[in-house]
Amino acid sequence: MSSGATQVSGLGSVRYSVGYSNIGYDHFRSEVVVEWRDGAKRTQTIYEGIYDKPPAKVWGVQGHLCVSMQACARYEDTCTVQVIAYRYDAGAKSFAELENGEQCSQ
């Protein structure tokens, strides 16, 4: 488990926790949970899945919340970084995944 906080423009501080467990064959089941305040305390699981190299990274950039993790070819050290971008929907008071992670370039 790793945790921390990041800033999302227009929203403020977002705390996150990344939980993962080894499921064999160098793969990890992961869950990314975020907490923030928007009138009241809010909590949302924004990612659940399997990836190869823990832990995932979480950061805020230009009003987006970004998550990256690595997927590796089996029996190879060559890995691809997958980036998922989320934007905050103030009406729904939740994060929505965007089609691509281009908004998250560091």
SS3 for 66?
strand
Amino acid identity of residue 65, one-letter, is L
95 CB-near residues (< 8 Å, 6+ apart)? 34, 44, 46, 65, 86, 87, 88, 89
Residue 104 has pLDDT above 70, yes or no: yes
CA distance 19 to 15: 13
CA distance 102 to 106: 10
Q: What is the pTM of this model?
A: 0.82
Please report, for the chain, the start and end positions of each structural domain, with discontinuous segments joined by +. 2-104
Mean pLDDT of the chain: 84
Q: Which two tokens stand for residue 58?
A: 């979480």
pLDDT in tens, 48-90: 877 666 667 899 998 899 988 877 666 666 778 888 999 999 9
